[in-house]
Structure 1
Amino acid sequence: MKLLVTGGAGYVGSVVAAHLVAAGHSVVVLDDLSTGHADAVPAGSELVVATLRKGAAEVLADGSFDAVLHFAAKSVTGESVVKPGYYWDQNLGESLALFDAMRQSGVRRIVFSSTAATYGNPENTPISESDPTRPVSPYGATKLAIDTSLASYAELHGFGAVSLRYFNVAGAYDGLGERHEPETHLIANVLAVALGQGSEVSLFGTDYPTQDGTCVRDYIHVSDLAAAHLLALDACEPGRHRVYNLGSGSGHSVAEVIEVCREITKHPIPIRTCPRRDGDPSVLVASSEKISRELGWTAKRDLHTMISDAWAFARKTV
């Protein structure tokens, strides 16, 4: 198939694009490089540097594309609280421009990189797709609005759409890994201390009602995530919008993540204990039972593999 990958110069988008190329697909990456990296675009694919508003219609105009995989978004939760209008414009506004370009060019299949942040502070653990969606940040709200828009485009314009909701992605694949600025993800920040790029890791709260008193979060290896996107691509059904959670079903505590990082890096990784941050739930874990049952996806790589792969990548980029 000929596929358009928006945001394909970013961490997750580039890894998925690499898996698509390896599977024999023709891939065009559309990315404005505001947070992505041109050298992350996999060999064998084409890069078009543009925003979705300015580039999607032109790229799709020749009618040769079979589907879109949509990763382009602003994704820093804290920044979204400070700049809500910017996030609504960049995430929802740019996505609607993409969907309209798809409609005009006759492309009707799309896999969307959504987020489990659409659920907000969940009522149940692990979270299922039937649980209420009550995002607590503009970032989560914009992603939910895009999901809702896709449901409308499926109903009104015959789109076959799949939204994948997940929390924390980790690991690396074929020389592709996390290079965020600023970096907000736990594993990358812990490994940065092991590389001498920080003196200690801040641990926010040790009195949560969990096994070791620290927050529990869900982690998925980026290659497992890519596999889910390829399965979702095949599952796009005209006139239907599907939503799947991707998760481990159990999660790992912050203290556990730090301890595995110590084991792998052979570095003490000092900790500075800090008070809880406002709004941090004790446990955020998603269930992947639905996608396992319907599409056959399961997460195959464990936390040790995620951190080992991330560490190998981090050492190469110092």
Structure 2
Amino acid sequence: MDGTILVTGGAGYIGSHAVLALLDAGREVVVVDNLVTGFAWAVDPRATLVEMNVADPRMSDLLRAHDIRAIMHFAGSVVVPESVSDPLKYYENNTAATRALLASAVAAGTPHFIFSSTAATYGTPDRVPVAEGDPTVPINPYGMSKLMTEAMLRDVAAAHPMNYAALRYFNVAGADPQGRSGQSTVGATHLIKIAVEAATGKRNAVGVFGTDFPTRDGTGVRDYIHVSDLAAAHVAAFDQLAAEPARSHTLNCGYGRGFSVLEVLDAVDRVTNLKLDRRLESRRAGDPAELIADNRAILATLPWRPERDDLDGIVRDALAWERRLGEREKGRQG
């Protein structure tokens, strides 16, 4: 498919992997990132990096100058507890900034938009696996900021010649198997990231928040998807939007099965031949017992199939990246 794709937040965790997937598929890529949480070195040199905020009014000029065919929008704030303590930051960085980006896209005539949404739009689901048509009742400002953006996308697509894919991520983990990118954010809250930090000596222990959930071992169960599989879903979503410009999609991105916190930590123990120190803590407010994707819609809609649906493999890739980060840090200090 011809045309250049703009990736916002392409210097961040998931965005940098989408950039790799697009480039590996032969696409032309422009990255826009303000580098507040992203890293310029995480952007593959085959892409063009522009340091800019997505809400910048010059964005429409950039879209025209590069003849952008589609926007993959990853830029935004993603820490759920922070969204509770600072909700206006999330409505500014996520909802308001995306509104400005959409205005630029409409002005420039950009026809396709792929949005980084979240399973947090469901809140605490009444059933698992949770499907796209189930109630969306977010329990934190992060989830609400993303759901508001989904509503904007529906309205914009109805009023203008644009279609979209809103991809609702479940728990993203792992790293590029070739070691080109990974989760580099300082203070990340992802379980597997925290666990491999502990395995490499960057943390003393791993907190287990809640041991009395109505699950098989009392700890929370989540659907973990490899970041490279998720990136591949974005490429497939773009191809589908381009092939059917009158149709838009809202799709879960997950594997349709879950692992508990303790099962994840057991996997890290297996891969590292270590025994992580587990510190049992009380539940965090608003944490659902289980969150698992019903992924039948994405499998029926896109020519996408998981290739890395293996928990130990996800952990191995995350661990390899964490060790690379450690070597990088030593090199900078030396």
The two structures have a TM-score, normalised by structure 2, of 0.93
Q: Which runs of 5+ in 1 are unaligned?
A: none
Q: Is the aligned partner of 1:83 residue 2:86?
A: yes
Distance of 1:208 and 1:298 partners within structure 2: 31
Structure 2 match to 1:192: 197
Distance of 1:12 and 1:261 partners within structure 2: 21
Structure 1 match to 2:117: 114
Structural mapping, 1:172-191, within 5 Å: 172-173=175-176, 174=178, 175-191=180-196
Following superposition, the deviation at residue 296 of structure 1 comes to 3.0
More deviation, 295-304/218-227: 295-304
Q: Is the aligned partner of 1:202 residue 2:207?
A: yes
Structure 1 match to 2:332: none
Structure 1 match to 2:97: 94
Contact 1:2–1:66 (CA<8 Å) still a contact in 2?
Answer: yes
Distance of 2:146 and 2:86 partners within structure 1: 15
Following superposition, the deviation at residue 72 of structure 1 comes to 0.5
Structure 2 match to 1:48: 50
Task: Please tell me the residue identity of whatever aligns with 2:324.
Answer: K
Aligned to 1:157, which of 138, 144, 160?
160
Structure 1 match to 2:238: 233
Following superposition, the deviation at residue 57 of structure 1 comes to 1.9
Q: Is the aligned partner of 1:294 residue 2:301?
A: yes
Task: Please tell me the residue identity of whatever aligns with 2:122.
Answer: Y
Distance of 1:294 and 1:213 partners within structure 2: 35
Aligned to 1:277, which of 284, 303, 306?
284
Following superposition, the deviation at residue 239 of structure 1 comes to 4.3
Following superposition, the deviation at residue 298 of structure 1 comes to 2.7
Following superposition, the deviation at residue 262 of structure 1 comes to 0.7
Contact 2:4–2:66 (CA<8 Å) still a contact in 1?
Answer: no
Structure 2 match to 1:34: 36
Distance of 2:262 and 2:110 partners within structure 1: 46
Following superposition, the deviation at residue 113 of structure 1 comes to 0.8
Distance of 1:94 and 1:21 partners within structure 2: 26
Q: Is the aligned partner of 1:170 residue 2:173?
A: yes
Distance of 2:307 and 2:245 partners within structure 1: 30
Contact 2:61–2:108 (CA<8 Å) still a contact in 1?
Answer: no
Q: Is the aligned partner of 1:244 residue 2:256?
A: no
Following superposition, the deviation at residue 226 of structure 1 comes to 0.9
Contact 1:63–1:106 (CA<8 Å) still a contact in 2?
Answer: no
After superposition, what is the alpha-carbon deviation per residue over 1:194-237, rounded to whole angstroms, capped at 9, x for unaligned?
11112111111222111111110110001100111011001114
Task: Please tell me the residue identity of whatever aligns with 1:151.
Answer: R
Contact 2:271–2:315 (CA<8 Å) still a contact in 1?
Answer: yes
Task: Please tell me the residue identity of whatever aligns with 2:295.
Answer: S
Task: Please tell me the residue identity of whatever aligns with 1:107.
Answer: T
Following superposition, the deviation at residue 77 of structure 1 comes to 0.6
Task: Please tell me the residue identity of whatever aligns with 1:244.
Answer: L
Contact 1:151–1:240 (CA<8 Å) still a contact in 2?
Answer: no
After superposition, what is the alpha-carbon deviation per residue over 1:104-132, rounded to whole angstroms, capped at 9, x for unaligned?
11111111111010010001100100101
The two structures have a TM-score, normalised by structure 1, of 0.97
Distance of 2:61 and 2:11 partners within structure 1: 19
Q: Is the aligned partner of 1:3 residue 2:5?
A: yes
Q: Is the aligned partner of 1:311 residue 2:330?
A: no
Contact 1:203–1:273 (CA<8 Å) still a contact in 2?
Answer: yes
RMSD of equivalent CA atoms: 1.2
Percent identical residues: 43
SS at match of 1:298: coil
Structure 1 match to 2:270: 263
Following superposition, the deviation at residue 73 of structure 1 comes to 0.8
Distance of 1:131 and 1:230 partners within structure 2: 26
Distance 1:282 1:214, change over 3 A: same
User: How many residue pairs were aligned?
Assistant: 318
Contact 1:157–1:239 (CA<8 Å) still a contact in 2?
Answer: no
Following superposition, the deviation at residue 238 of structure 1 comes to 3.1
Contact 1:154–1:239 (CA<8 Å) still a contact in 2?
Answer: no
Following superposition, the deviation at residue 60 of structure 1 comes to 0.9
Distance of 1:269 and 1:58 partners within structure 2: 51
After superposition, what is the alpha-carbon deviation per residue over 1:83-109, rounded to whole angstroms, capped at 9, x for unaligned?
111110111111111111111111111
